[in-house]
């Protein structure tokens, strides 16, 4: 029970910091195409599910392998994760810019329904190292239990999500074309930043 409380409180305390790392990735998705509140909610849930899966991955790995996981291994995983996030963000936002020239509306809609990009980006964002996440890894490292590690990260996820869920209600401003353009362009810029960051971490 203590792990659950600690995990949730840690997530709440890290919420503002997480907004600074998650929103630059998430908002371009929210604003790149026209969405109502229902579609915004689905997007938030998909992105959040990806984050949860990323957290659980580390929870399971640390619970099983414990001391075998070195900081160098974590560093490599998160560096390549940054590269993947960057490439996906660019491809996703460029697809909306090109979309304007395509007349195949029905096919576009079907493709959009099958698009799981927010889920994938959410996953790699979940394994992206930040100070609150590092502190959590240090804590679960001492637990030496898969169940305890996983339960901690579930509560950590719920705590951080408290700050992300309200973004559902700002998704409706994507009805303005200029907002969608800003979302698309900012997504591309952020994508290049994450590629640069990943390369710098790998070769720096």
- The reported pLDDT for the residue numbered 103 is 46
* DSSP symbol at 166: G
Q: How far apart are CA 3 and CA 29, in angstroms?
A: 33
Whole-structure pTM value: 0.75
Whether the CB-CB separation of 125 and 55 falls below 8 Å is answered with no
Q: Which domain holds residue 129?
A: 2-203
Tell me, what's the pLDDT at 174?
A: 77
Query: Could you tell me if 81 and 157 are in contact, meaning their C-beta atoms sit under 8 angstroms apart?
Result: no
pLDDT at 204: 66
In the predicted model, residues of the chain with pLDDT beneath 50 are 101, 103-114
Output the CA torsion 74→75→79→81 (10° steps): 10
pLDDT at 67: 59
What's the confidence (pLDDT) of residue 96? Answer: 65
pLDDT of residue 71: 64
Note the pLDDT of residue 61: 80
What tokens does 179 get? 């907002």
What 3-state class would DSSP assign to 14? coil
**Total tally of structural domains belonging to the chain:** 1
């Amino acid at each position: 029970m203590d792990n659950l409380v600690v995990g949730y409180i840690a997530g709440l305390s890290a919420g503002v910091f997480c907004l600074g790392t998650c929103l630059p990735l998430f908002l371009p998705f929210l604003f790149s195409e026209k969405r109502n509140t229902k579609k915004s909610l689905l997007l938030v849930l998909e992105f959040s599910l990806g984050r949860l899966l990323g957290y659980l991955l580390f929870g399971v790995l640390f619970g099983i392998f414990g001391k075998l996981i070195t900081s160098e291994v974590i560093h490599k995983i998160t560096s390549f994760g940054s590269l993947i996030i960057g490439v996906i963000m660019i491809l996703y936002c460029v697809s909306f810019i090109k979309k304007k020239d395509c007349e195949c509306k029905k096919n576009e809609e079907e493709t959009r329904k099958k698009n799981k990009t927010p889920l994938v980006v959410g996953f790699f964002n979940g394994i992206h190292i930040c100070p609150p996440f590092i502190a959590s890894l240090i804590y679960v490292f001492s637990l030496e239990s898969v169940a305890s590690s996983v339960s901690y990260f579930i509560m950590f996820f719920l705590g951080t999500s408290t700050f992300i869920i309200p973004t559902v209600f700002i998704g409706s401003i994507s009805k303005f074309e200029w907002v969608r353009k800003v979302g698309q362009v900012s997504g591309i810029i952020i994508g290049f930043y994450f590629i640069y960051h990943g390369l710098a971490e790998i070769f720096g």
